[in-house]
């Protein structure tokens, strides 16, 4: 399906939505994706990013493949 067809399909589906909360959430996602400004992090977010960088340096992480495997185990798949 082409990009133009996907856009038309999404627009058609959005016009059928009756729940205001869902429409607001779609708008929030689109606003975020289309915003070309600089994203400002809170102090808590900056701290967590710093902590995550340290975890990576110390190899305290798992791969995406391992994470997906754990998720599938938790879901009983």
Per-residue model confidence as pLDDT tens digits over 4-59: 999 999 999 999 999 999 999 999 999 988 988 887 899 999 999 999 999 999 99
HEC secondary structure over the chain = CCHHHHHHHHHHHHHHCCCHHHHHHHHHHHHHHHCCCCCCCCHHHHHHHHHHHHHHHCCCCCCHHHHHHHHHHHCCC
| pLDDT confidence of residue 40 | 87
| pLDDT confidence of residue 38 | 82
Measured CA to CA, the distance from residue 31 to residue 27 in angstroms comes to 6
Radius of gyration for the alpha carbons in the chain, expressed in angstroms and rounded: 19
Residue 65: is its pLDDT beyond 90?
yes
């Amino acid at each position: 399906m082409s990009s133009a067809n996907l856009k038309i399909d999404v627009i058609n589906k959005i016009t059928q939505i009756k729940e205001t909360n869902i429409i607001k959430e779609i708008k929030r996602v689109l606003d975020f994706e289309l915003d070309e400004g600089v994203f400002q992090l809170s102090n808590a977010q900056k701290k967590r990013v710093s902590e995550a960088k340290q975890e990576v340096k110390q190899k305290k992480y798992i791969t995406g493949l391992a994470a997906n495997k754990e998720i599938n185990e938790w879901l009983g798949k």
